[in-house]
Amino acid sequence: MLLHCLTLRFTDAATDADVEAFRDALAALPDQVPFPIRTRQGRDLGERPTNADYAVVTEFADADDFREYLRHPAHLAVPRDHVASVHSVQFVVGDGPTDA
């Protein structure tokens, strides 16, 4: 299994409605892509001042599904107007392929 983890910061102008629109678009992705994915996401709890504002972890069967996801129209349509920065990492867990 390939895990895609990202953390992001929203712009200062981002409203709660903007963050909710982002969350809702991500939550809808598993039903819109032609392969199984599992996404978990949420706002930072504020435990550390250096943390990002939001995190997303998405599970894919393999690197091919991940690459298809990146170009899928539903993923490209996720609203990013109020995203200031993104950091991501992908890695393989379990007995799956290691070509990530």
d(CA 33, CA 15): 28
pLDDT for 23-58, tens place per residue?
A: 999 999 999 999 999 999 999 999 999 999 999 999
pLDDT at 99: 47
| pTM of the model as a whole | 0.87
Q: What is the CATH number of the domain that holds 58?
A: 3.30.70.100
d(CA 92, CA 61): 10
Is 100 part of a structural domain of the chain?
no
Is 98 part of a structural domain of the chain?
no
For residue 26, the tally of other CB atoms under 10 A from its CB is: 19
Is 97 part of a structural domain of the chain?
no
Into how many domains does the chain fold? 1
